[in-house]
Chain A
């Protein structure tokens, strides 16, 4: 693993990993929002790629995808956007979040070389379960990219142990059944699931899906190494769509304020 992942792993913080959609509401805004998120204390960044048929996503991220598509954002441009982020000084690991069909059309080999050239650290494919990911996993390992594994509360125990042991970058634990989106409560038994994940994982264990406020985040502090926030952040971006285009500097300030208000206080 590269230095960015080593730093991520060695961090003593309760890791905050935000998700935003590339090209939402435009490419330049994505760059500023990414940098702002790092300033807010993000330990890594998930960059979504707009897709016509995002079947693991709820309405908020679906709409973000539609805005991204209108900007003609695609997988290749998203990867290249990462090198622009690196030029601007972004130091945290960046994970490309893409549906498999987009990856298939670009070509898995082409993805790997583009990712290496542009400073990408990992990839997450929500519709590519472990059983179908053999080739991509090998390719990623050979090129020091992390293929982020997702495990769900419905994952069989043996499979959970195996995936946790083999996980690279971080292990993504899905907090609840269903698509991405804000939730009011989480299921029982979640702590056992997280515990089993942590016992077996050699990388940080992160919890995601549905987290939208400080109370919810703190709920998982003892049982995980970090958390992922997507829809709650994307929803704020949606609400500030116009301002992020017309008065970006002010809008980004407000965005940072919003993100900070959501995070546990000790995050810088």
Chain B
């Protein structure tokens, strides 16, 4: 598929993307775009970023053949790109390091961030500690309750965790609150967005810092297979940063790509976060994309057992790739992801995050439709320690996460 170069100079991916923000922060987006483009042309900066990924986060992360899982499941062989083995336990750190280095380069001393499950909050707090920046993390009251461990980690790392009580008290509202903070503090503060969402240049920048996932995968798979590409690549999608990072180098290749959204209790119910399957065009957090909303345009509350997929919007490039038909987006329920998580634990000794379990669940379905000599790479975006509490509640059949 030949594609137009996206985003264009206005930050557009076809109809999607753009900068729908108050005038007060327009200058900061321009300043950021300029600094980012300059940094990306600067070999010292690029080398420094690669070095930090290696010596601080432990990259490259391995590509693991899940042979017992593949055998048990039947069909295609499943490989896992082990982003769970990054420092802090998820792919989020790649982007956090990149943006923090950029913040330092721009002379900013303060960062703010939003977080849902707390993974990006932990990554932001981590890089703030590492690079000597002050850090404020906005987190919904409801998420603070269900992710107490990550809240404690952030505080231990010296970050201030600001409880967000507006709206539905989850990621959507934490992001609103972080943007509100930025509108006030924009002159000396760097907003470290955690996913491939937000106004231009954020989606482009986050993709850039996350594409290391896909680039490593391509190299590793090629060495293992003697120069081949995988027959399919699968990643979960909330805002979509691990997916866009994984897909980046494959978009121009003839490899089928699958993004997996959270179907929650089912896309036919009103308890899901399947933005592309069920959403419509709209503006959220500064970007025109697909989102879950009422006919009038009030943004509705998504649901997923996984706090990281529990987002009513999606990165604009995913909306574009969906519309172009380049990536197929599927949805997987809570139950399917829980089953996949357990199967992966039992067969491979890997406890993955509930977010990543959605990608695993879909790859198990997909593998069954493919021959034994075919291959699938799944982005295992994070580890599951943070979800143990939710898993315990599930196992006890007691309080469900809603």
List residues of A whose CB falls within 8 A of some B CB.
51-56, 58-59, 62, 69, 74-76, 99-106, 126-132, 150-156, 174, 177-179
Chain B residues near A62 (CB, 8 Å)?
166
Chain A residues near B18 (CB, 8 Å)?
132
Chain B residues near A69 (CB, 8 Å)?
298
In angstroms, how far is the closest chain A Cβ from the Cβ of B264?
19
Chain A residues near B281 (CB, 8 Å)?
104
In angstroms, how far is the closest chain A Cβ from the Cβ of B167?
7
Is residue B66 contacting chain A, with contact meaning CB distance below 8 A? Answer: no
Q: How far is the CA of A106 from the CA of B300 in the complex (A)?
A: 17
Q: How far is the CA of A52 from the CA of B286 in the complex (A)?
A: 15
Q: How many A-B residue pairs have CB under 8 A?
A: 108
Q: How far is the CA of A239 from the CA of B22 in the complex (A)?
A: 29
A55–B179 contact, CB under 8 A?
yes
Binds A, one of B25-33, B223-231, B232-240: B25-33
What per-residue 1/0 map shows which CB atoms of B181-212 lie under 8 Å from chain A?
00111110000000000000000000000000
A75–B296 contact, CB under 8 A?
yes
A150–B23 contact, CB under 8 A?
yes
Contacts A55-B176, A177-B184, A177-B185 given; indicate if A106 touches B23 (C-beta within 8 A). Answer: no
Which B residues between 278 and 294 are near A, CB-CB below 8 angstroms? 281-286, 293
Chain B residues near A151 (CB, 8 Å)?
23
Q: How far is the CA of A75 from the CA of B295 in the complex (A)?
A: 12
Q: Assuming A53-B284, A101-B299, A152-B22, what are 20 further A-B pairs, CB within 8 angstroms?
A: A52-B300, A53-B299, A55-B22, A55-B176, A55-B180, A62-B166, A101-B293, A102-B297, A105-B296, A128-B20, A129-B23, A129-B26, A131-B19, A132-B19, A154-B23, A154-B24, A154-B186, A177-B184, A178-B24, A178-B180
Chain B residues near A101 (CB, 8 Å)?
282-284, 293, 297, 299
Chain B residues near A152 (CB, 8 Å)?
22-24
Q: Which listed residue, B27, B187, B293, B296, touches A155 by the CB 8 Å rule? A: B27
A129–B21 contact, CB under 8 A?
yes
Contacts A106-B297, A127-B283, A177-B186 given; indicate if A154 touches B180 (C-beta within 8 A). Answer: no
Chain A residues near B296 (CB, 8 Å)?
74-76, 102, 105-106
With both beta carbons as reference points, the residue of chain A lying nearest to B25 in the complex is identified as A154
With both beta carbons as reference points, the residue of chain B lying nearest to A72 in the complex is identified as B296
In angstroms, how far is the closest chain A Cβ from the Cβ of B201?
13
In angstroms, how far is the closest chain A Cβ from the Cβ of B123?
23
In angstroms, how far is the closest chain B Cβ from the Cβ of A59?
7
B295–A105 contact, CB under 8 A?
yes
Contacts A59-B166, A155-B26 given; indicate if A104 touches B282 (C-beta within 8 A). Answer: yes
Q: Which listed residue, A54, A103, A127, A156, touches B286 by the CB 8 Å rule? A: A127
The bracket for how many chain B residues form the interface is 35 or more
Q: Classify the interface of chain B: helix, strand, loop or mixed.
A: mixed
Chain B residues near A178 (CB, 8 Å)?
24, 180, 183-184
Chain B residues near A177 (CB, 8 Å)?
24, 183-187
Q: How far is the CA of A230 from the CA of B153 in the complex (A)?
A: 40
A179–B180 contact, CB under 8 A?
yes
Q: How far is the CA of A241 from the CA of B285 in the complex (A)?
A: 31
With both beta carbons as reference points, the residue of chain B lying nearest to A62 in the complex is identified as B166
Which of A59, A69, A154, A174 counts the most B-chain CB atoms under 10 A from its CB? A154
In angstroms, how far is the closest chain A Cβ from the Cβ of B319?
14
Q: Which listed residue, A75, A103, A129, A153, touches B22 by the CB 8 Å rule? A: A129
Chain A residues near B26 (CB, 8 Å)?
129, 131, 154-155
Is residue B10 contacting chain A, with contact meaning CB distance below 8 A? Answer: yes
Provide 15 A-B residue pairs closer than 8 Å at the C-beta atoms, listed in order of the A residue: A51-B297, A52-B167, A52-B300, A53-B284, A55-B285, A100-B283, A101-B284, A105-B293, A129-B23, A150-B22, A152-B23, A154-B25, A174-B24, A177-B185, A179-B180
Q: How far is the CA of A178 from the CA of B25 in the complex (A)?
A: 9
Q: How far is the CA of A102 from the CA of B285 in the complex (A)?
A: 14
B22–A131 contact, CB under 8 A?
no
B176–A53 contact, CB under 8 A?
yes
Q: How far is the CA of A150 from the CA of B286 in the complex (A)?
A: 17
Chain B residues near A59 (CB, 8 Å)?
166
Which B residues between 22 and 66 are near A, CB-CB below 8 angstroms? 22-28
Chain A residues near B299 (CB, 8 Å)?
52-53, 101
Q: How far is the CA of A126 from the CA of B20 in the complex (A)?
A: 9
In angstroms, how far is the closest chain A Cβ from the Cβ of B77?
44
Chain B residues near A132 (CB, 8 Å)?
18-20
In angstroms, how far is the closest chain B Cβ from the Cβ of A48?
14
Is residue B386 contacting chain A, with contact meaning CB distance below 8 A? Answer: no
